[in-house]
Each structure stands twice: as C-alpha cells, then as structure tokens.
Amino acid sequence: MPGIKVWLVTRYSDVTHALTSPYVAVRVPEAVADLIDAGRLPAAYREAFTEDRKNLLNTDPPEHTALRSEITKQLTAQRMTALHERIVSGALRLVRGVSDSPGPSVDIMQELAYPLSIMAICDLLGVPEADRGTFLGWAHAISVGGGGPEGYQAVFAAMAEMDTYFGRLLEDKKFTDGDTLAAGIIRSNAESSSMTVPQLKTMLAMLVMSGLETAASLTGTAVAVILRDPRLRDLLLSDLSLADAFIEETIRFAGPVTFTPPRFTRSDIELGSVVIPAGEPVSMSLWSANRDPSQFHESASFNPMRSERSQLGFGRGAHYCLGAAIARSEAKAALTHLFGLHPAMELEQVVWRDSNLRGPVSLSVAVR
C-alpha cells in the first residue's frame, strides 16, 4: 500500500473477523488525525474524511446503515430486472460489434468490458449518454490513484470535477424527475434529509466510481483466465450455463479488489494471535484470504466446479459491495455472448493494472 504502513490481515478467518468486527471501522477521525500528525498517513487523507465527503465507503453503522438504505430501497426488483435485461442486450450488441472489428485483434476491455460497465451504471443513475465517456477517465483516476502526493492530487482533482458535474445535474429537472436510481435517491433524500447536497453529490460520484471499474475488471479477468487455459475454455464451451460458476471462481481466484483501503481499530483487538492496539490502520487482504488453503481445497488452482463458495472477493459485513449483483450480471452476459459467438478466439496479450484494483488495462484477443 504505497506510502502507508498498515497491519495486513491475511488469513481467511482473521479477515472475516476484521471485516465484520465493530472494533475495526472505516471512520475513526481521532485515529486518522493522529496518524497524519505522526506522518503515517498522507495529509490528503483529511479531505476524504470531511463531513461533505461522507458516503458508504467512509462511514460506519448506524450512519452507514442509514445511507445504504437510501440506495437499497431504490434498487427495486422491477428496476434490477430492467437493468439486467439492458445488460444482456447491451452485451450482445457489443459482442456483435467485436465481430465487425476491421482488424485481426480486438481489445476486450475497450470494446466490451468498459462500455458495458459505463452503460449499466449510467443507465441505472440516469446519466446522459453524451456525458458517459468522461466518467471512464474519472473512474480510472480515482480507482488507480493514491500512490504518493501526485496520485492523491489526481484522485481529489477527479473527485472535484465529478462534484461539479453532479452539482449541475442536480439542477436539471430531466435528471431529478426521472425514473432512475439517482432520481429516486434525490426524491427520498428530499423527504428524509439524511444527506446534505455536498454529501448527495459525493454519494452519486461514489456509485459511479465503485460500479464502473470493479465490474469491468471482473469481466476482463474472467476472459483472460479462461483464454489462458484450453481446458477451462473447453469446459465453458461445453455448457455456457456454467458462466455463473466461472464468475464466482474468478472473484475468489483473482477478484477486482486485492485488499481493503485502511480501516482503523477502535480498541485493542486480537487478530491471528496478535493484539493490534487501538488507533492503528488495518488492511484486509481479500486475495490472500481467498487463497487460504485452510478454507479452500487446492486454493492456488482455478476450479469453477469447486464446492466451497464462501469467497470474500466483494467483502463481508456492513460494507459488502452494494454493486456485487450488477458486476456479476455484467460478467455473465459478457462471457455468455462472447464465448457463444467467438468460441475460437485466442488470447494475444494482457496488460495488468498494478494497483489495489486489479484487472486488465488492456486485453487483446484474436477473433477467428
């Protein structure tokens, strides 16, 4: 974790304990202030914990519970079913576009994974189509940044631009009066006043940021893993309904998030026979936990037919990823259509992102 010294939790049982313990929190202002003063956290961390920046990622229950409920009550069965149908049809359209590519090679990230994620999250929120391309740059900056002063500056610059953008949308009646997740949250918040306007803008930006990169990374990683092993490709092609199993194993084997951002101990806590003092930064390695041999048989092997399904790729507890179902839906639609229409495609090159958010930056395949 660039520039930050943390306690790293690696075993499955300890990671599960830390993720669900009320004594390990994301928002402990006094601990953050002390760590910044001691030079153990970048000064830019203060910005992430201001009142205006409160969102699902940096609050704890009961405040987190109230904020989360503002979103979950808008994720109705009808809305999610409609979104899933758009994801399936959108994936098919994009995969057919891959077929029409003029060159011998296609970048699956640029032609399928990212466009599908942008479409899904922006459709859900009601972001105008003309503005959607801009979101990818913001999401990249926020998800990949944070390594040193320049990285943190890039993160907060992108956040400021998104803040300005959503400020304009909040004044647009077409946006606030629509039948979308964002419009529903805005109307609900007008009644409950659970969020200030700055917090509402931050919340909308957070939904875009977390939903876009995570889902695209999952899709790209699944495709790369399958194409690297002819046996896996043959297994999926023998029964495309196994796409769900392949996706679950991808989340375990090489999920989008390698470790959690720092959380902070509210009191002394014992993890793995080690007592971590109060006020310390702690990060949970989701990758390590998901490859713990005491939890998963032959944990270093990719086996979509394994019986153990209790992976932690999307977290656990109060901060379990809100968009997990959407990410799974995107990945399933992409795999099903891509391998259904292009069973003979071959992997050419993968360039992996070197950051906490793991996934392909580019994924070149030959379509035959």
Inform me whether the pLDDT recorded for 147 exceeds 70. no
* CATH assignment at residue 183: 1.10.630.10
CB atoms within 10 A of CB 301: 11
Does the residue 328 lie in any domain?
yes
In a domain, 87, yes or no: yes
Residues 112-134 pLDDT 10s:
999 999 999 999 998 888 888 88
User: Which amino acid belongs to residue 148?
Assistant: G
Mean pLDDT value of segment 243-263: 96
In b/e form, how buried is each residue of 107-141, taking b as 16+ CB within 10 angstroms? bbbebbbbbbbbbbbbbbbbbeeeebeebbebbbb
Q: Which of 86, 72, 78, 77 is nearest to 185 (CA)?
A: 72
- Residue 67 in any domain: the answer is yes
92 vs 74: CA distance, rounded Å: 27
> Is residue 2 assigned to a domain?
no
Q: Is residue 192 part of a domain?
A: yes
Whether a cis peptide bond, with omega within 30° of 0, leads into 62 is: yes
166-212 pLDDT tens trace: 898 888 888 888 889 999 999 988 888 888 998 998 888 888 877 78
What was the pLDDT predicted at 152?
Answer: 67
pLDDT of residue 325: 94
Q: Is residue 1 part of a domain?
A: no
- pLDDT tens across 307-349, in order? 888 999 999 999 999 999 999 999 999 999 999 999 999 999 9
Q: Contacts for 270-276 with beta carbons within 8 Å, 24 or more apart?
A: 271/7, 271/9, 271/14, 271/17, 271/18, 272/9, 272/10, 272/11, 272/14, 274/7, 276/7
**Cα gap 295→299, rounded to integer Å:** 8
Full residue range of the structural domain in which residue 293 is found:
7-366
Mean pLDDT of 29-55: 84
Strands 281-284 and 7-9: parallel
User: Of 8-17, 22-31, 166-175, where does the model show the most confidence?
Assistant: 8-17
Asked if 160 contacts 215 with a C-beta cutoff of 8 angstroms, the reply is no
**Which residue has better confidence, 156 or 341?**
341
Q: What are the structure tokens assigned to 209, written together?
A: 């940021």
Q: What is the mean pLDDT of the chain?
A: 90
The reported pLDDT for the residue numbered 19 is: 98
| Structural domain contains residue 257 | yes
Domain count, the chain: 1
Q: What is the pTM of this model?
A: 0.92
On whether residue 88 sits in a domain, the answer given is yes
